[in-house]
Structure formats: structure tokens, C-alpha cells
Copies of this chain bind each other. A is one copy, B any other.
């Protein structure tokens, strides 16, 4: 009798309800969000419970079959796409989508990895609370992916990264063991905080199946402002003044360059410029408080008066919640679409100390002007955290498919060199996946890379968890 190949053996031993092999179904899991890579896989495994995830991992470990965990497939780095050789199975967490518990008095929510972020936001809202993790892909990204990539987003300034919101975790380790440190505790110093190793590991050290998250009290007041800023150097002062006057209640402090706004207004002609006098730089700033009694709007009003009086802000508009707020946020969140409408962009997801951010934007822009062969800048991002999406769109008339790889090869290294030289990072929030392995080799601290290899070898000696991602095999 012919010996079965390991993948057939694994598939043969799993319940057929959780092994999708129809090529049309499988195809939906094989291409990453940004179309960097199309992989191959004979099946997608869609377990319905943590126990089924354990069964899958145990089988795959026994037979040396590598797994690629996938959530909402919104990675910007192809972190959840299988290799083209077909030697891996995709493990989708989408059916692990229960909200297990919501403890309002403890301000915590326990949910499974496959929950879509917006569903969790709604669950918190229904309990009179708020899940302070929020990103543009909220309608499609899933909790497990958000935690495995330590997602950032638009509320980091006040609430931190995804990692900062995790109280407890449940995960299946590469040998099939179940790690259960799911207790929603704010203080739990009992040995190494091993859950930290799974957060941000992009599925290479195990599979997150559930997590307990911090909730916050629901905002009773939201004040949103769109400000025109004449000089980019003013950003740092602006942020400091805004945080001070509002009592560190600035939830979002998002930069939008005139370049990006123009790109968007051109791509979507139905949109209107929110201000009468355009400027080179804009900030979308949002302040929130759960207090019904503190006079937040008055504080923001005082702030804007001062800033305009001093000439730091040249124009601005205030939205007190509601439709106007949605319109302002629409502008911020649809810049990526405007880039796509122009053939997409070369993205540099860079961070520097906040104090260095204006200088970084100025210097990096000069680099593109000098070496970018007419590439169009699109700069925006979470500058309150020192994180800027420094993107470059192909010149009008140029072929993006030719221009972008050229730019990445010839100019991007200068931008990354600059960020790192200014004390920053080549990767703020998107992660490594397969797309940034070379950058990690180039800029990563040597001892850190050594530790990463040691941790990977210790926890996944057979290299079956998302091999080839984050850390080289």
C-alpha cells in the first residue's frame, strides 16, 4: 500500500466539516490583502472550537505539516498567506467567534479569536462601555489577527496598542498544548508573562484562540476638530497643548498632508474640502471623555482660540459628534483608497520619537523630491504616537507597476535609513510578515534577532507555525 503524504493523512483524520478543500473556497484564503503574494494550499481548516484547534495542531505537529493561521486576512505584510509551494494548510479562526464573557464591573470582555473587531466594539457598546481598539479595517479584521500583529490604529494615543489592552490569553502552542492564562486580571505577576510572546508574533509561536481585553468607559462627550497647520514644526507643540488642556483626553491626533487630501478630493469628486483656506498640513484631532460633567468642549474651544491667536493653527472646524464628525473621519480613513485609485502607493510605516516627527517628514519629503523621479507624496498617520504613513504614489503618467518596485529598491532604503538614524523604526504597526524580513535583517538589533531565533526554536522546534514569517527558518 502506498504511503499517504502527510497532508493527506492530516486531512483524512479531521472531521470533514472543518476541512474545506473545494478550490473555489480555498482560493479565498490564498491572496493577501495587498496582493503581494498568492499562495497555494490543498485545504483550509475551519475549526469551531479551541478543542478542534488543539486537535489540528496536535495532528500537524505529529506529521510535520505547517499551518498558516489566518483571521480577517487584512495583513499589510502578507503575514497570513501560505507559501506558493502548497506545502502548508491554512487555519482560519473565523468560526471561533463567540463573545464568551463581558464583565462590566471589571471593565473586561473575553472573546474568541475569530470575532470581527466591529462586533466586539458593538458588544462593548451594548453594555454601556467601549472597546478602545479601533482601526480602519474594523469591519473585517478579527481579534486574533489584531492581537497577533499587535495592531495599532486610531486610539493608541490614549489607550495604547493592542498588546496594552490584553488582560488574558488562550492559545494553542505548537505542540498542541493549551495555554490558558485567560483570567481578566489587571495585576498578575506570577512568573514570566508568556502571553506577551504570542502577542505580535504573527502566528509563528502558536495560535491565539481567545483573549480577555480591557474595556473603557463609554465617551459621554466627543469633540472632533479638523485643523489647518501652517508650519509642520508646530505639530509637537499642538499635541502638547491639546493634551494639557484636555487632561490627556486626546484620543486621536491624526496628521493629513495636503498631498493626501488633494489625492482623495480628486479621486472622490463628491467630497468637499472641510476648510475654507487650504494649508499644507492638517490635523484631525479628537477629544473624548466619559465624564458628563467636565466641560470638554469648552476646553477644546479654549485650546483652539489660543492656537489660532498665536498663529499655530490657521483655520479649523469643530464637530460635536454626529454626521459632521463622520465626514471628517471619512477624509482620514479613505486616503488609502485614494492611493489605490492612483495605482497604489509604496508605503513606509515609520515611527520616530514624537519630538522628531516634523523634522522626519521634512527631511524624508526632501529625499523624495530629490530622488523620487516625480513620485507624489501621500503622508498621513498617527502622529500623536510618532507613527507616520509616509507613502509615495507613482507620478502622473508613470506605470505604477514599474515605478513602485523601482522606488522601493532605489529610494525606500534612504527613507528607512533616515527614520532609523533619527531614533525611529522601519515598522511601526504593520508588522513583518514576509514583506519586511529583509528590513528586519538590516535594521534589527543583532541580539534581538538572536533572541527571536532562540525563542522560535524553543517554542516551535519543528517550525510548523507560519514558517518563514517574522523570523527566518
A residues touching B (Cβ–Cβ < 8 Å)? Answer: 103-108, 149-150, 152, 156, 160-161, 163-164, 173, 177-181, 183-194, 196-197, 199-201, 205, 216-217, 220, 236, 240, 243-249, 289-296, 298-299, 302, 351-356, 382, 385-387, 423-432, 436, 439-440, 443-452, 454-455, 457-459, 470-471
State whether B427 touches A190 (Cβ < 8 A).
yes
This chain: copies in complex:
2
Is B107's CB under 8 angstroms from A197's CB?
no
Which single member of B149, B185, B430, B443 contacts A424 (CB below 8 Å)?
Answer: B185
A384 nearest in chain B by CB position: B186
Task: Name the contact of A179 in the complex, choosing from B152, B193, B445 (C-beta under 8 A).
Answer: B445
A189 partner, pick from B108, B200, B293, beta carbons under 8 A: B200
Residues on B with beta carbons closer than 8 Å to the beta carbon of A191: 432, 440, 444, 448-449, 452, 470-471
Tell me the complex Cα distance, A77–B408, Å.
53
A192 / chain B contacts, CB cutoff of 8 Å: 197, 200-201, 205, 448, 451-452, 455, 470-471
Which of B103, B149, B444, B458 has a CB less than 8 Å from the CB of A455?
B458
Tell whether, in the assembled complex, residue B351 and residue A186 are in contact, meaning their CB atoms are under 8 Å apart.
Answer: yes
A245 to B294, CA, bound (A): 8
Q: What secondary structure prevails in chain A residues at the interface with B?
A: loop
Ranked 6 nearest A-B pairs via Cβ:
A458-B458, A247-B291, A105-B355, A196-B196, A247-B289, A106-B353
Q: Cβ of B290 and Cβ of A244 under 8 Å apart? A: yes
Chosen A-B contacts, 29 in total, with CB atoms closer than 8 Å, are A105-B353, A106-B386, A108-B353, A150-B193, A152-B187, A152-B189, A161-B187, A179-B445, A180-B445, A183-B353, A185-B353, A186-B351, A187-B351, A187-B429, A189-B429, A190-B425, A190-B436, A190-B444, A191-B432, A191-B471, A192-B201, A192-B205, A192-B455, A194-B455, A216-B248, A245-B292, A249-B291, A293-B302, A455-B458
A449 / chain B contacts, CB cutoff of 8 Å: 191
Q: Are A185 and B425 in contact (CB under 8 A)?
A: yes
Which residues does chain B contribute within 8 Å of A470, judged by CB atoms?
Answer: 191-192
Q: Which of B196, B201, B356, B432 contacts A197 (CB 8 A)?
A: B196
Bound: A400/B268 CA distance, A? 77
**Which residues does chain B contribute within 8 Å of A160, judged by CB atoms?**
164
In the complex, the answer to whether A385 meets B179 with C-beta atoms within 8 Å is no
In angstroms, Cα B189 to Cα A458, docked, is 21
With a cutoff of 8 Å between Cβ atoms, the chain B residues found around residue A105 in the complex are 236, 240, 353-355
